[in-house]
Structure 1
Amino acid sequence: MLKKTALATLIAAASALPLAQAQAADYQIDSEGQHAFIQFKISHLGYSYILGSFKQFQGDFSYDPESPDDSSVDVTVDVDSLDTNHAERDKHIQSGDFLNVSEFPQATFKSTSFDVDDEGDEAEMTGDLTIHGVTKPVTFEVDHIGGGEDPWGGYRQGFEASTTLDLADFDIDMSDFPEPMHSVELYIVLEGVRQ
């Protein structure tokens, strides 16, 4: 929204692509086409889960199949686009009790390193994640999904990424809730169109 040697996604598999067809390039994340997703999963009291997503975000990534370690990702998320399919709960999560959207309307991720494994199909992307006004280094486990020409004359690459965040690291106080609710899992799919 990127696994080891990306969301982000964050969010690289050089050997999974025919090198003759692939090129080093910058890609615009296709969030408007609904081909990119930032989703989360958090325990509900240790009995079930709350699943949700952020509907509005934008960004880009750079990917060179011949030098995947040079890949990078830059994503900005509109936190008020949070959706857990329950309007009252969404308002509470966005309130000052948790994400405080009025003061911190955006979350961002900017990658700082990308380490690909020897097989070239998995990677770890580390970068600076800012949520709730707090910036912390975070590492995403990344898998390359695929890449190639699309039916409209463009060229695309796609990745999936995941990580788990301790909410206390971002000054989100969950002390009144059971321990299983103190962390959240992020799952991100980023499909980009070559520019």
Structure 2
Amino acid sequence: MKYSNPLSSLLLASAALLAGAPAFAQQALVPAQSQIAFTSKQMGVPVEGQFKKFDAQVAFDPAKLTTSRISLTVDTGSATLGVKESDAELPKAPWFNVPKFPQATFQSTAIKALGGGKYEVAGKLNIKGNAQDVTVPVAMTQSGATTTATGSFVIKRLAFKIGENEWADTSMVADDVQVRFKLALTGVGKV
């Protein structure tokens, strides 16, 4: 049973990085209220997964977007599809190759305000040693001291060499992986 989708995990990592955009001063990620999830299709059937371990370093000031920065690190070994056999495959070389590439990263290069608590975060997503430019839409809402950044975007798993060799066949595992994120942050100013 080799039907795992590391591309989805990669997408989640990217999303989490981009979502980390809102925060400055003593800004911090609240892991218990945050999530990076992904959906891929295997033989046309949606397969859901998530990354259980990730962190974000955020310096976000809505009044100073040119100096705001978001950095996300995702533990690729924490990817899970919730199926023991698939989860055993994800760390292997054809998928995430965790021994050689234990982390996926996102580093913002520009943040653009779109109005109404919506932002566009551009940056470099690096998975399995392959860096790609990505632009991620982020919606931010605030409730009390917590700012929640949410969004989703699609990555091409083969651009990151996720699912190599026999898994490069997109009729088995689709190339597109949707990454969804919800990042809860503290210390963010009014957006």
Measured against the shorter chain, the TM-score band is: 0.7 to 0.9
The answer to which of 35-44 and 64-73 deviates more is 64-73
Deviations 1:14-49 (A, max 9, x none): xxxxxxxxx953411111xx1111110001211x21
**Structure 2 residue aligned with 1:142:** 138
| Secondary structure in 2 matching 1:181 | coil
**Structure 1 residue aligned with 2:4:** none
5 Å matches for 1:1-195? 7-11=17-21, 25-31=25-31, 34-46=32-44, 48-68=45-65, 70-117=67-114, 119-149=115-145, 156-172=146-162, 173=164, 174-178=167-171, 181-194=174-187
Q: Is the 8 A contact 1:143 1:161 kept in 2?
A: yes
Q: Is the 8 A contact 1:70 1:114 kept in 2?
A: no
Query: Per the alignment, do residues 11 and 120 of structure 1 end up closer, same or farther by CA in structure 2, a change over 3 Å counting?
Result: same
Distance in 1 separating the partners of 2:171 and 2:127:
22
| Secondary structure in 2 matching 1:80 | helix
Structure 1: gaps spanning 5 or more residues: 13-22, 150-155
Distance in 2 separating the partners of 1:73 and 1:8:
7
Distance in 2 separating the partners of 1:24 and 1:76:
18
| Secondary structure in 2 matching 1:168 | helix
C-alpha RMSD over aligned residues: 2.5
Structure 2: gaps spanning 5 or more residues: 1-12
Query: What count of residue pairs does the alignment treat as equivalent?
Result: 173
Task: Report the alpha carbon displacement of residue 164 of structure 1 after superposing the two structures with TM.
Answer: 0.4
Amino acid in the other structure paired with 2:161: D
Query: Per the alignment, do residues 186 and 138 of structure 1 end up closer, same or farther by CA in structure 2, a change over 3 Å counting?
Result: same
Task: Report the alpha carbon displacement of residue 170 of structure 1 after superposing the two structures with TM.
Answer: 0.9
Q: Is the 8 A contact 2:42 2:172 kept in 1?
A: no
**More helix by percentage:** 2
Using the size of structure 2 for normalisation, the TM-score is 0.80
Deviations 1:143-174 (A, max 9, x none): 0122533xxxxxx3221121100112112334
Deviations 1:75-101 (A, max 9, x none): 111111111111110111221121111
Using the size of structure 1 for normalisation, the TM-score is 0.78
Q: Which has the larger radius of gyration?
A: 1
Query: Per the alignment, do residues 166 and 2 of structure 1 end up closer, same or farther by CA in structure 2, a change over 3 Å counting?
Result: closer
Amino acid in the other structure paired with 2:74: V
Amino acid in the other structure paired with 1:102: P
The answer to which of 61-70 and 101-110 deviates more is 61-70
Amino acid in the other structure paired with 2:36: I
Q: Is the 8 A contact 1:41 1:50 kept in 2?
A: yes
